[in-house]
Structure 1
Amino acid sequence: MTTTTTPPPATEVTGATGPRARFRHLLAAEWIKLWSLRSTYWVLAIGAPAVTGINVNSALTNLDWLSQRDAPAPMDPRMRYDALSSAFVDPAWQILMVVAGSVGALAVFGEYTSGLIRTTFTAVPDRRAVMLAKAVVMSAVTAVLGVLVSVASFGVTQAILREHGGLSIGDPGALRAVAASALLIPLSALVGMAVAALVRHATGSIVTTLVSLVLAPAFLQGDTYRWVKELGNAMPITAWNTLIENPAMEHPPAKYAETVTEAWIVFAAWPVAAVIVMVLAVRRRDL
Structure 2
Amino acid sequence: MTLLAVERIKLFTTRSPWWCALIALVITIGFSALVVGNSGDEFPATVASTQFGYSFGMAVIMVLAALSVTTEYRFGTIRTTFQAVPHRASALLAKTTVVALLALVIGEISAFGSWAIGTVLKPNADLALDSGADWINVAGVGVVYALAAVIAVAVGILLRHSAGAIALLLIYMLAVESLVRLIPSIGDDIYEWMPFNVANKFLTGSGGANAGRDAAAGAPLSTSPLDQGWALVYFAGVAAVLLIIAISTAKRRDA
TM-score (norm 2): 0.85
Shift of 1:261: 3.8
Aligned equivalent of 1:87? 50
Say whether residues 1:236 and 2:199 are aligned partners.
no
Contact 1:213 1:236 in 2 (8 A): no
CA contact (8 A) 1:223 1:255 kept: no
Superposed CA RMSD:
2.6
Mapped to 2, the partners of 1:241 and 1:121 lie a distance apart of 36
Residue ranges of structure 1 left out of the alignment (5+ in a row): 1-23, 67-78
Of 124, 130, 149, which aligns to 1:163?
A: 124
Q: Which amino acid aligns with 1:244?
A: T
Tell me, what secondary structure is at the counterpart of 2:44? coil
1:41-52 equivalence runs, <5 A? 41-52=18-29
3-state SS of 2:172 partner: helix
SS of corresponding position for 2:234: helix
AA aligned opposite 2:101: A
Cα offset, 1:257, TM superposition: 4.3
Deviation sequence 1:129-158 (CA, Å, 0-9, x none): 000000110111110111111111123314
Q: For residues 87 and 224 of structure 2, what CA distance do their matches in structure 1 show?
A: 44
Question: Is the 1:223–1:256 Cα contact (8 Å) retained in structure 2?
Answer: no
TM-score of the superposed pair, with normalisation by structure 1: 0.76
Amino acid corresponding to residue 236 of structure 1 in structure 2: P
CA distance in 1, matches of 2:127, 2:183: 32
Q: Which has the larger radius of gyration?
A: 1
1:255 offset after TM fit, Å? 7.6
Give the ranges of 4+ consecutive aligned residues of structure 1 lying more than 4 Å apart after TM superposition.
249-258
Identity of aligned residues (%): 25
Partner of 1:4: none
The one of 61, 64, 72 aligned to 1:100: 61
CA contact (8 A) 1:135 1:190 kept: yes
Matches for 1:121-160 after TM superposition, within 5 Å: 121-160=82-121
Who is 1:277 aligned against? 245
Does structure 2 conserve the Cα–Cα contact (< 8 Å) formed by 1:26 and 1:133?
A: yes
CA distance in 2, matches of 1:120, 1:254: 41
State the shift of 1:159 in Å. 4.5
**SS in structure 2 of the partner of residue 168 of structure 1:** coil
Instruction: Report the CA distance between 1:185 and its aligned residue.
Output: 1.4
Task: Select which of 130, 136, 151 maps to 1:191.
Answer: 151
User: In structure 2, what is the Cα distance between the partners aligned to 1:219 and 1:80?
Assistant: 27
Q: For the structure 1 residues 254 and 272, does the alpha-carbon distance in structure 2 shift closer, same or farther, using more than 3 Å as the test?
A: closer
| Greater helix content | 2
Counterparts of 2:27 and 2:112 in 1: how far apart (Å)?
14
Work out which of the residue numbers 215, 231, 235 in structure 2 matches 1:263: 231
Deviation at 1:99, TM superposition (A): 0.9
Q: Write the distance in 2 (CA, Å) between the matches of 1:230 and 1:96.
A: 27
Closer, same or farther in 2 for the Cα pair 1:260/1:43, shift >3 Å?
A: same
Pair 1:27-2:4 in alignment: yes
Shift in Å at residue 93 of structure 1? 2.3
**What displacement does 1:207 show?**
0.7
Aligned residues: 246
Counterpart Cα distance in 2 of 1:116 and 1:281? 18
Among 25, 28, 32, the residue aligned to 1:55: 32
Return 5+ residue gaps in structure 2 as ranges.
none
Deviation by residue 1:1-41 (Cα, 9 ceiling, x = unmatched): xxxxxxxxxxxxxxxxxxxxxxx111111001100221111
State yes or no: 1:221 paired with 2:171: no
